[in-house]
Structure 1
Amino acid sequence: MSKVKRLTNVWTYINDMQKFTIKELSEEFNLSAKTIQRYLKELNKMGLPIQAEQGRNGGYRVLNNSYIPPIIFTEKEVMTILFALKSLQGYKDKSMEPEVNSIMRKVSYERKSNIKIGIENIKRYIDFITNDGDFKSSDVTEFFKASSESLILNIKYKRGNQILEKSICPIGIYSNKGTWFSPVYDYKSDKIILIRINKIIEIKKVGKSKGVHISLKEWLDTVYNNLYGTMSATKKIGETIYLNVLLTKEGVSKIKDSFYDLDIESNEDGSGIINTLIKIEEVDWYVSILFLIGSNAKVIEPKFMNKLLYDKANELRYFYEENMV
């Protein structure tokens, strides 16, 4: 076994133990006391905070066992990490900024290689713009921990001009268009409801849930199936569907005045028809365009797209209700 592998094994072991003695490590790894002491000095230089404890039962302990052993990444993996971290920097909330910058420095240290060029290109040519409103990463973190540990929370949150209180157990978190949401089990109504995390005013932990609630994936699958109907069971990514939309004269004009390049069949009276095949993954893009056209566009096929437009209108209504004075 190589020295690097032995050092990694020792790091992992003492990181889990947190408190240990030279004798324990010697017996565990079948190494001499001098070798173990040398390894501990090297690990300390590598960044693992190890402190000697005085006294009859003295030994060593790791000051912070949240450090993980060194991990070797491929160039593609490093680029993926950099890309993901770049997306985090798009959020207005800066509470994660020190950690993100620290990781960026660690994975993009100075060296002469092709990956260095790739890293600089990500920094220079890629950016993410989010509409995150009053997003607070601390609240998102609290909901994530509560979800993973099945914790019961008492929360106060804003709904319109009201401040409401609820006893809940989050089942997960997800982000949609820069806004963080959490499906939670509401103990009062005895059902799963959806909470906008940016509306949270106060969070208090009150205990651990004994019941087993639906998982986030199961909840999302249920919502997706209800939203898309039988289409979700029959269509896969890459498959095509038939799109048929009737446009008024004003609708045709709006599309032509925009930068959207849509294939429209024009009628003599100025109205038009969109009659084409689109990929299933393009549905949301077309919904966004048709939503902007409003009542000047009538979707004939697929029927489920009308449901998506209806829900989008409800989201806008909810937004204005939440911000009414």
Structure 2
Amino acid sequence: MQKSQRLIQLIMMVNARKSFTVKELADELGLSTRTITRDLQELSELGVPIYSIQGRGGGYKLLQERLLPPISFSEGEAVAMFFACQSLNYFSSLPFGDGAGSALHKFYHYSPADVREQIDRLKNRVAIYSPYRLMSPEILQTLLQAIMIRSVVTIDYNSRSGVLKRNIQPIGLYASSGYWYCPAYCFLREEIRQFRADRFLSASLNESIPCRGDIEQKTLLDKPEKDHLEQKVLLLELTKKGVWLLESNTRFTSTIQRNEDGSGTAAVPIAAEDVHFYVELVWQLGEEAKIQGPIEAIAYIEQKIESMRRLYS
């Protein structure tokens, strides 16, 4: 086996275990302990974060920030990865620390000259924009770490009722319209709630509270069930432009019925507790959408209209 191949295999082996001894690696690779010791020293000089454990039963350990073995990318893959990372630049905050920027630099710096020229020609010509929203990158990183290591998080959350301290078990993180959202199990309410990351005033890992096994199994694909709650049907009458505007919202798309002239209607099944939330979405359409039911939705939209009338009278 060539030395370069042996070093790559060694990186993969030490990445796969928390601690190891020289003899273990030597036996597995069929090499002398002297050769393995020399190879580990070389990996350390190359930047692989290995450190020795002194004393009885000692050996070697890998620091938490591990290095991946070399990976080959085609030109198309390198360009795709570069712009996937670059698209993150339009977010005000990210949960990845300096990782995204560092990866972007490596993809560009170590690409062949002709690939860098292609990337340069595409700069400022291809972009994935996201609205700029101010939030704490440290809090996002804490939430991401909690998901990775399975930890409860203690938060101070700025809700409509004021600032509340809660213990939550994050399920995931996702971005929408520039905001970061964290669906999580709330130990106070004893149910899954949706939290907006920019409303977190503080967040810290709390390993004193054990995670719930059933929550650990959930992902972002598991939407909270609201079938047990009182249900309503939001009835909408839409102009042609209203149909065009609303069909891009996945909450409404499948419920829209188009008329021959391009106008349409929608019957949207919702939980009764979400009536105000959906009315707020429809409010943005102005005269392009008319709420026909339920009565609670009509009353809420009339209340908003009257509030606006008083504001400008």
Same fold (TM over 0.5): yes
Name the counterpart of 2:222. Answer: 219
Q: State the Cα deviation string for residues 208-246 of structure 1 (Å, max 9, x = none).
A: 2234137234433868xx9xx9xxxxxxxxxxxxxx943
User: What is the CA-CA distance between 1:138 and the residue it aligns to?
Assistant: 2.1
Name the counterpart of 1:192. Answer: 192
Whole-Å Cα distance in 2 between the matches of residues 64 and 166 of structure 1? 29
Name the counterpart of 1:137. Answer: 137
Matched residue of 1:183: which SS? strand
Whole-Å Cα distance in 1 between the matches of residues 55 and 250 of structure 2? 71
State the one-letter code of the partner of 1:180: W
Name the counterpart of 1:262. Answer: none
State the one-letter code of the partner of 1:212: D
Cα separation, partners in 2 of 1:145 and 1:275, compared to 1, 3 Å: closer
Question: What are the equivalent positions in structure 2 for 1:247-266 lying under 5 Å apart?
Answer: none
Q: Does 1:43 align with 2:43?
A: yes
Cα separation, partners in 2 of 1:83 and 1:222, compared to 1, 3 Å: farther
User: What is the CA-CA distance between 1:130 and the residue it aligns to?
Assistant: 3.0
TM-score (norm 2): 0.66
Whole-Å Cα distance in 1 between the matches of residues 63 and 6 of structure 2? 21
Matched residue of 2:109: which SS? coil
User: What is the CA-CA distance between 1:199 and the residue it aligns to?
Assistant: 0.3
Whole-Å Cα distance in 1 between the matches of residues 193 and 283 of structure 2? 16
State the one-letter code of the partner of 1:216: T
Name the counterpart of 2:281. Answer: 312
Whole-Å Cα distance in 1 between the matches of residues 150 and 15 of structure 2? 26
Matched residue of 1:48: which SS? coil
Question: What are the equivalent positions in structure 2 for 1:80-95 lying under 5 Å apart?
Answer: 80-93=80-93
Contact kept, 8 Å, 1:183 with 1:216, in 2: the verdict is no
User: What is the CA-CA distance between 1:176 and the residue it aligns to?
Assistant: 0.8
Give unpaired runs (5+ residues) of structure 1: 230-243, 247-272, 289-297, 321-325
Q: State the Cα deviation string for residues 266-295 of structure 1 (Å, max 9, x = none).
A: xxxxxxx5699x8xx99217999xxxxxxx
Question: What are the equivalent positions in structure 2 for 1:28-177 lying under 5 Å apart?
Answer: 28-51=28-51, 59-63=59-63, 66-93=66-93, 98-109=98-109, 112-160=112-160, 162-177=162-177
Name the counterpart of 1:10. Answer: 10
User: What is the CA-CA distance between 1:86 and the residue it aligns to?
Assistant: 0.5
TM-score (norm 1): 0.64
Name the counterpart of 1:233. Answer: none
Whole-Å Cα distance in 2 between the matches of residues 37 and 50 of structure 1? 12
Cα separation, partners in 2 of 1:113 and 1:21, compared to 1, 3 Å: same
State the one-letter code of the partner of 1:312: L
Aligned-residue CA RMSD (Å): 4.4
Give unpaired runs (5+ residues) of structure 2: 253-261, 286-299, 305-313
Aligned residue pair count:
264
Cα separation, partners in 2 of 1:287 and 1:21, compared to 1, 3 Å: closer
